[in-house]
Structure 1
Amino acid sequence: MADNYIAINWNAIEDQIDKATWEKLTEQFWLDTRIPLSNDLDDWRSLTPDEQWVVGHVFGGLTLLDTLQSQDGMASLRQNIRTQQEEAVLNNIQFMESVHAKSYSSIFSTLNTPTEIDEIFDWTNANEHLQYKANRINGIYHEGTPLQKKIASVFLETFLFYSGFFTPLYYLGNNKLTNVAEIIKLIIRDESVHGTYIGYKFQLGFNELSVAEQDDLRNWMYDLLYELYANEEAYTNDVYEKTTWTDEVLTFLRYNANKALMNLGQEPLFPDTAADVNPIVMNGISTSTANHDFFSQVGNGYRIGQVEAMGNDDYNFD
């Protein structure tokens, strides 16, 4: 006879971080349809063709990575959960990754022509370096150990997305494309929680390994980061060759690679700090979301409750 099916009981919490993360994510819930993207059309028309190309193609790359997270990433992580509540949190994350991927299409449909949209997706689905990182992460999702899968997820959420996030944050810091950037800030807010939570779950498993096993996995982790960063340099050159931003994007990437390692409880690899990042971009990422009436869409921002992104200090890893 089969074992009884067990109902999830949110009144018997094994790990309080599951409950705290669920509450954080549900408080942060948002949809792209509530943001008046058409208000950015004047800013969009003021950009040069090269600038418009960069905006469209970084969003194409982000669409691919969010598709990967929603279709393969969370399904992979759900295979090795510790609690039923953890699975519920991963279900929430998976849904929001789909919201993120869909949001980029809302941006495309507002700013780009159908022909331009087709070209963006053709480029996205064929770019060598973009496809390399997607397939490298996806391969780990399908063939890696449970802890390797968590490393891959945190690297994607906290590191690899940021070559694309640089552009809208740069324009936000210059007071352009503010509604487009509002979506990106909401996505970053979500990814902050996702990366911290999955990093926390990684640390639980990592701390159960022997010293030798920890050393082996740590070596694998840093080798993977070096590999992904080398590819990301090439991808950044592809996307930003029409600009003078390449070096600044790479600094931003190294800064976020260190944040990914910290989410995993490891030491930073690169010397770059927040002080090294373009201050215009840091200003964009730190600008609080503007007031926005959820129902009438009055204003140029979006806020559901007084919710801030979750930082490393929000979780007690001891």
Structure 2
Amino acid sequence: MTKSYTAINWNALEDEIDKATWEKLTEQFWLDTRIPLSNDLSDWREFNEDDKDVVGKVFGGLTLLDTLQSQDGMSSLKKDVRTQHEEAVMNNIEFMESVHAKSYSSIFSTLNTPKEIEEIFDWTNSNEILQYKANRINEIYQNGSPLQKKVASVFLETFLFYSGFYTPLYWLGHNKLANVAEIIKLILRDESVHGTYIGYKFQLGFNELSDDEQEEFTSWMYDLLYELYENEEKYTHLLYDKVGWTDDVLVFLRYNANKALMNLGMDPLFADGYAQNVNPVVMNGISTSTSNHDFFSQVGNGYLLGDVEAMEDSDYLFNFDDNSDK
């Protein structure tokens, strides 16, 4: 029997958020090849071996997590879409996760020797703490319910990535590796949309549960966050103890864990997880100009070489209602 297909009609929307998200994602399309990474070589030559080692390992870890998102994460979420338009948005997100993963290789090829690159990937592919969080998230992608998969995705993109993002934001705040950081800011801009959109889709499904089901699911969600945070503490100590940044990175992680929960419509968990407690150098690295990023803006800077919209604190979170201030 011949299968009947339904043509996607963008003029008949079930959810306006799908179209708004599609337009935002396509507006901010970018490629790593347009950024002059070689301009950072003079900064790189001044780094000591410990600082270089941290940079290499955090980008190795980020490559692994973006590979997970592009190969398994989005394909898993696409099985449970509510609309055809949502699947189109997920296709866009899936592609951009591949762009993110490739971007780190562009950074490696600029800053590192072939031998160093091989060592970074060997470490990434064998480190037990890093592999634990990738496998834990993927376990949910493969075996979890539709809502559990969305939680895993938001926790990954809005929380677990940030132990790695801290490093380039720190150096940007010290006026180092500006072009590397430009790529990270572009990735952050994407991830802010990915996390809030998937969080919104989660909230639609969560609100359809009974009170008892919501209570049970919320307990599961917070237990997962505790589990992931415990592992992330180990990962942070492993990466940052030797450069003395561990305590500051952990505050940054708690800040972003709270953001992930808020994207899911949940209450923050960590009492110190707020912007005012984050290292101001890192926050300055996020916000380096007066340009603002507006999720629904139809007029923006666009993507120009060397011209990236600055991230503001509010860009980490976008709720689709008027109750976002918690």
TM-score interval, normalised by the smaller of the two chains: over 0.9
In the alignment, the residues of structure 1 paired with residue 148 and residue 94 of structure 2 have an alpha-carbon distance, to the nearest angstrom, of 19
In the alignment, the residues of structure 2 paired with residue 314 and residue 215 of structure 1 have an alpha-carbon distance, to the nearest angstrom, of 21
Aligned to 1:97: 97
Aligned to 1:252: 252
Q: Deviations over 1:86-141 (max 9, x none)?
A: 00000000000000000000000000000100000000001111000000000000
In the alignment, the residues of structure 2 paired with residue 214 and residue 317 of structure 1 have an alpha-carbon distance, to the nearest angstrom, of 22
- Residues 109 and 24 (structure 1), Cα distance of their counterparts in 2 relative to 1, 3 Å cut: same
CA contact (8 A) 1:124 1:130 kept: yes
Aligned to 1:122: 122
Question: Superposed, which structure 2 residues align to 1:123-202 within 5 Å?
Answer: 123-202=123-202
User: Deviation at 1:238?
Assistant: 1.0
Q: Deviations over 1:123-167 (max 9, x none)?
A: 000111100000000000000000000000000000000000000
Q: What is the TM-score with the length of structure 1 in the denominator? A: 0.94
Aligned to 1:63: 63
- Residues 123 and 178 (structure 1), Cα distance of their counterparts in 2 relative to 1, 3 Å cut: same
Aligned to 1:302: 307
Are 1:286 and 2:291 counterparts?
no
Secondary structure at the residue paired with 1:6? coil
- Residues 286 and 26 (structure 1), Cα distance of their counterparts in 2 relative to 1, 3 Å cut: same
- Residues 313 and 197 (structure 1), Cα distance of their counterparts in 2 relative to 1, 3 Å cut: closer
CA contact (8 A) 1:28 1:307 kept: no
In the alignment, the residues of structure 1 paired with residue 79 and residue 242 of structure 2 have an alpha-carbon distance, to the nearest angstrom, of 42
Aligned to 1:316: 321
- Residues 225 and 307 (structure 1), Cα distance of their counterparts in 2 relative to 1, 3 Å cut: closer
Aligned to 2:205: 205
Q: What is the TM-score with the length of structure 2 in the denominator? A: 0.92
User: Deviation at 1:196?
Assistant: 0.1
Amino acid aligned to 1:93: I
In the alignment, the residues of structure 2 paired with residue 311 and residue 98 of structure 1 have an alpha-carbon distance, to the nearest angstrom, of 21
Aligned to 1:39: 39
- Residues 20 and 293 (structure 1), Cα distance of their counterparts in 2 relative to 1, 3 Å cut: closer
Amino acid aligned to 2:190: D
Secondary structure at the residue paired with 1:125? helix
CA contact (8 A) 2:258 2:268 kept: yes
Secondary structure at the residue paired with 2:56? helix
Q: Deviations over 1:232-291 (max 9, x none)?
A: 000111111221100000000000000000000000000121010000000001124998
Amino acid aligned to 1:77: L
In the alignment, the residues of structure 1 paired with residue 136 and residue 173 of structure 2 have an alpha-carbon distance, to the nearest angstrom, of 33
Q: What is the identity percentage for the equivalent residue pairs of Structure 1 and Structure 2?
A: 74
Unpaired segments of 5 or more residues in structure 2? Answer: 292-300
Question: Superposed, which structure 2 residues align to 1:9-48 within 5 Å?
Answer: 9-48=9-48
User: Deviation at 1:227?
Assistant: 0.2
Unpaired segments of 5 or more residues in structure 1? Answer: none
Are 1:226 and 2:226 counterparts?
yes
- Residues 66 and 41 (structure 1), Cα distance of their counterparts in 2 relative to 1, 3 Å cut: same
Aligned to 1:214: 214
CA contact (8 A) 1:289 1:302 kept: no
CA RMSD of aligned residues (A): 2.0
Aligned to 1:106: 106
In the alignment, the residues of structure 2 paired with residue 249 and residue 105 of structure 1 have an alpha-carbon distance, to the nearest angstrom, of 24
Count of residue correspondences: 312
- Residues 288 and 90 (structure 1), Cα distance of their counterparts in 2 relative to 1, 3 Å cut: farther
In the alignment, the residues of structure 2 paired with residue 212 and residue 53 of structure 1 have an alpha-carbon distance, to the nearest angstrom, of 48
In the alignment, the residues of structure 2 paired with residue 190 and residue 313 of structure 1 have an alpha-carbon distance, to the nearest angstrom, of 12
CA contact (8 A) 1:196 1:310 kept: no
Secondary structure at the residue paired with 1:80? coil
CA contact (8 A) 2:70 2:95 kept: yes
Aligned to 1:268: 268
Amino acid aligned to 2:307: Y
CA contact (8 A) 1:27 1:307 kept: no
Secondary structure at the residue paired with 2:242? coil
Are 1:86 and 2:108 counterparts?
no
